Each structure stands twice: as C-alpha cells, then as structure tokens.
Structure 1
Amino acid sequence: MLDSITAFLKRIWAAITRWLGLVFVGLAWPFLAARGWYRHGNWLIKLPVVAFVTLLAVLYIYFIWQTQIWSGFNPSYPEVYKFSERKFSAGEELPAAQGQQAAAVAPKACQTSAVVDVAADLTDFNVNQNAWISSMLLYKLGFFSISWDDTPFLDNKASFQRGVNSVVRRTSAELVDTIGRVRGTSGINGDLQKARGNLQFDESSWYFGLHPFGPKTPTPSYYRAAIINLRNFNTDLSNCKAVFDGRADNLLQFLDHVAGDLGSTANILADRSQNYSYGWFDMRADDRFWFAYGQLYANYGILSAAGADFQQVIAERNVGRLWNDTLGMLQTALRIQPMIISNGREDSSFMPSHLATMGFHILRVRSNLVEIRTVLGGR
C-alpha cells in the first residue's frame, strides 16, 4: 500500500517538473535564439541592442521599486492634522486676535476646509510622494501582454491608489455641487470646478496613446493641477472670498454618497469571495482587496476632516459618539494588512477569506454612516 502511494506521488512530481520544464523552455527559447543571433552580429547591431536591453532593465528596476515602496503610507495619518484643535466650522469667520481698534482695520479671515486639505494631500500622496502606477508605461504593457491586475504581483499599489482616488473624485463632486455653494443656487466655484474636471481624467493616460492615436498629457499632470485648484479654493476661503455651506442636509447628502460607494465595494468583494474562492490562487483577489483598502484609507481622512468642517452640525444633532465610533471602525479596518491576500472559503482554516473580512468591516462602517444619516435627516 505504501509503495503504491509513493509511486503515485512520484508520478505526480515527475508530471509537475516536466510541465515546469516545458514552461521554462517556452519562455527561454526566444532569449536563447536572440543570444545566438547576437553572438554572430556586428557591433552596429550589438550596440543598439545593448542600449535597448540596458534601458529596459533600468525601467523595470524603477518600475518594481515604485510598486513596492509606498512613500508616506500611514494608516494613522489623520492624527497629524490635529482636527480636534479646530474650534470653528469651515467657512466660519474667525474672531480677531487683537483689540477692537485693530479688528476694525484687519481683513476678515475665515476657517479653511479640512476636507479640501485632506483631498489635496491625498492626491499629492498619490502623484508626488509616489509615482502614479496605473499610467506607467510598463504597467500598461503588462506581463507578457497579460494585465498586471490579472497577476498576483506588482498591482497592489496601483489598486490602492485607484481606491484613494475614487474617494477624492467623489469628494470633489460633492464640493462643487453642494458644499462649495450656498444651497446649490449660487454660482459654482471656479477652482472646485477645475479640480473636479482634472480629477475625473482617465487614470491610465501616458504620454502617447492609441485611442485616439497621438500624444497625450499624462494622468499625473491633471491630478497635480487639481491639487493647485483645491489649495487655491482654501486660500480664497481663508480670506472669506469663497463659500463652504456646512448645513446638515449637505452633510447628510455627503454621507449618503459615501455609504453608497462603500455598499457598492462591499458587493464587489462579496461577489468575488463567493464565486471565485480559490484561496491563494485567485489572481484578482489582491487588487479587489487593496482597492477597498484604499477607499477606507481615504475615507478615514475625509470623514475625520468632515468632523472638523461640520463640527457645529455634529454637536447640534448630537451625533458625536456615532461619528467617533465610525472613525474607530475605520482605524480597525486599516490594521488589516496581510502579506499575501487569500480568497478562500469563509470557513477555511488554511486559506482564509481576506475579502470577506474586509467586506465585513466596510459594512460596519456603512451601517454607522446610515445611522448618522438617519439622525441628521430625522430632525
């Protein structure tokens, strides 16, 4: 009996090694053929080939480095802003620091928006502190024409950045449509409008494209312009030349859209978890996970900032405890950082379902936001 089991395992191992050998030969054959051709070529041919291979090697080293090094990544980053020390809601006129005579001649000053600050800083984190992965040439080329999103490596940071950017995009739309104007009837703020347009730009544009054919402006250039637009708005707001309409119904609508986005992401995670539970061998589990993580990462900062911008509404409607509970749930979710993303069965003890775990935390946050929204709309 033992001999038959041993023979069976040997046959399986022989089949695996034979298969791996065929794969290696298939991958190595073009390089071996090129080596033979290169050895018999003259230097007029060899030098351009050497230059091309060297350039490609440098590009790949840079590309791999950028995908693996996450500069400025800090799940506790909202603490740096010290929002609890802000005493006034966004757009509220600040009292003069000096006596009445000085106050009479001093220009008016208003409280800037923490939400706008965080949105600008998150975009800066994506495109200045880090390279924007989705529009890099080697990311667009993929792995032997296979999208990096369909592989288990080098796509986590790109998915995370897209998750962060989706939140900033939605926030910019809210600022333009409701929060950055009085009751939605005043004129649209020009800087916010430009920021929204720039942030809506295609996430994967490089210097050249095929659809349409010709040169293009790369994605990071548009996002960097959006940073300037957002900071210009806050400069005008600090001088009381812009509007931040911090009413309860604007906060309610803002939370409604945040909850809607999180619900959609939870559905995506649930679908992947239920229908593709291949454990460590699900090639798309990692980008689903890190996109959701990026959304929570950005929402943690945006909602922390919204708590400062709408502090008067939150105090008047007595939702401070619920608000802080929501931020605590986001903190807890951001502690989940597995080295390898597994999409196994939910009852598996060997290959856990990280997607189901992330979906659980997203739904907890969404449930609290729905409760806050109910309280805000019920009075």
Structure 2
Amino acid sequence: MFTFTCIALSILVGRGDIATSYWSFDEIENGVSEESIMGLDAQVHGAELQQGALHGGLFFDGEDDYAAIESMGLAAKTIGSLAEGTISTWFRFDHSPESMDIETIFYLGAMQDFSSYGTSANCYELEIGHFSAQRRLYWTNISTQEETTAIPLCWSTTDHLQVGQWYHIVSTTSSMGTHIYLNNVELFDPGNCTWQFGDETMRRFLGDVLQQEAVWFGKGLWNNEEQFFEGVIDEFTIWNRALTPEEVTTEYERVASVGALTIHEDIPYEIQITADSLVLHGALDNIVKIKWQIAGGAWNSQPNISLESIWDLTIGEPVPAGRHEIRVVGQNAANRTFADTRILIQLDLNADGTIDVHDLLLMIGAWGECDCIEDLTGDGRVSIADILLLISAWG
C-alpha cells in the first residue's frame, strides 16, 4: 500500500476521520498510481510525474493522457454510492479552452454514451470550459433517461480562471445543501459563483450518476468526443460527508503550508562579481516557481517542474555597480514564498568590463563617509578596505 508523507497522514487522521479515497499522485509504479485508502488504484495512460501542489502530481499533455480507476466494481460500491460528501483537489491547467472545448479534471459516468447536446449522457464532471470559449470552472451533473437529458445540478465560477495558475477546489454536499470553496474562500451566488442549474440548497453527489462505467482523471466526454486535460492534477480526495469550513481550511493548509528554499551554504554571503554570469544553487521542497530580484529591480522567474530537491540558476542580467542584495524566492502552489538572500558586489564601477585604474579613481573621488556605490564593504564609508577589494579583482 502506498505510504503517505508524514504530514499528509497526520492531518488526515487528525481530523477525526479518514477520507473515503485519496490519490496523492506522488508516484507511478508499473503504470499505476495507487489510491491509499480503498484500493481504487488508477491506471496511468501517458501522464507523467511533475512537481505538483504537494510533491508529485500527474502532468497530462492534453492530447491523449489520462488516468482511470481500474476496478469500477469497487468504485461503484464506494465513491459511486455516496449520496453526500466532499471532493477536493489541486489543479493547474495549461490550455485555454476554445469553443466546445473543455479541460476535464475529474469524471464519473458513461464510458461512451452521449446526450443530444453532445455531452456525456450521464456523469458528474469537473472541468474548465463549457459550450463557449471560456476559463470558468464547472461542476456538472448530467442525467439521461429514455432519451431525455436533464442537468439537475451545475455550478460555475463567475470569474475566469488563469492559465498556468494553481487552484484548490472543494465542493461539499449534504442535507444542508452545497458549499463551494476556491483557494479556501467560499463562493456565493450572486457574486463569485453562478448556479447554471439547480441551487445551493440541493443535495446531489456521486451516487446520483446513473451510468457508472468509468472514473477518469484528465479525460471527459464533450462535443460528442473524448477530450483531454492539459496541465497537472494533484491531491485528489473524496470524503463521505461534507467538510466543515474549518476542515476545508485544514485541508487547504495541509498543502499550502509546505515549502522551502535555501541557497547552499557553500556559497558565501558576500559574492564578488568577476564574470558576466552568476551561478547559484541550493535546496528546495515543494516549490513550483523560482523567482529572483537584484537590487530591488524587476523580478525574473522560471517554473520548477522537477521533483529533485536541488535547484540551480544562472543569473545573466547585469549587476549594477556597487553592493546589492539578490533575493531568491521559491513559491509553492498556494503562492506562499520561501526566500534566501546573498549580497552581490560589482567591482566594475564604470561598467567598462575591466577593473582598473578608472574604477580606482572613482573610489578615491568618493573617499570618506558616503552612501554611494563605491562603498563596497557596506560600512558607510569609502576606505582602504574598499580599495583592497578592488585590487583583489584587478584586471
């Protein structure tokens, strides 16, 4: 059985009950990503591991990648029997849907039967996009009986989501109705949630799907065809009851609180610039983006998709003359930041590519107490100590 990370297990148990199903998507072994509670393992078709919201996540290419639960008999008896419950997942979509194009995150329903609208005949589907080109998130229940298709429940975010950004979605359903949370903020209609069909008083969940033939991650039925998700899906959890707002926050923090980035200790705190580029490296944990800034200037960034615990950067932009801080920031899926700093000392004071007498003359001209670029040691004055730094890199 798949081994949880310690933090995930402690919080799942610490809530007083264990989720019905939990896919961490941290590993793929022999083409399978294990489900750690009920044994609802997912067969992975093409998707690959990348840095996810919490360690590993499944990256889908939008062409034909998906993951499917192997045992539909067990799925129907467990998650497929739930009249109420909670669904929670983290996702990042990398493609903006066009007209009649969707990005399906989760699907339970018919394997190949379509409605007269071109949708799945029977399903619950969590997707980005709908009938028109848009980037809203939808949770839709479609039901077809005797050639008549109904949509008992469908909500969407009012606002469009952003391509390439991480989101956490939670939808809870009980006799008290449905509650929706995006990034730990409850959505309300009117406002930031729109009920297309039904309303927040309804109780409909996975047990209301009439045809339970497939459970897919990253694949759905739309526009009379199979459609595929492009991006990363991670930390998918189903409970057999509605989580409270406090528990939703706990689930959000289980992922949002994790992250770290440090510059390696073998890199001195003060770095003299002697080349056109600077290489930094260090350790990280659960970081999806690395950013850096020199002397309070513009931010540069690069995504981190690797599951390695180390990072390296080649800084190619010019470093201004004098003494400046470089700030390296790791950002996790919840946009929380973890930073480390170093001091860069640019000795080429006149930016002519050579450290020589011209730089020395500039330093002599600023001799004494000053708040100036010639103060290379940062002690508030230009003195012999600054000249010695300059001479050490002469040429």
Normalising by structure 1, we get a TM-score of 0.23
Answer 1 or 2: which has greater strand percent.
Answer: 2
Answer 1 or 2: which has greater helix percent.
Answer: 1
Higher relative contact order (CA 8 A, sep 6+): 1
Normalising by structure 2, we get a TM-score of 0.22
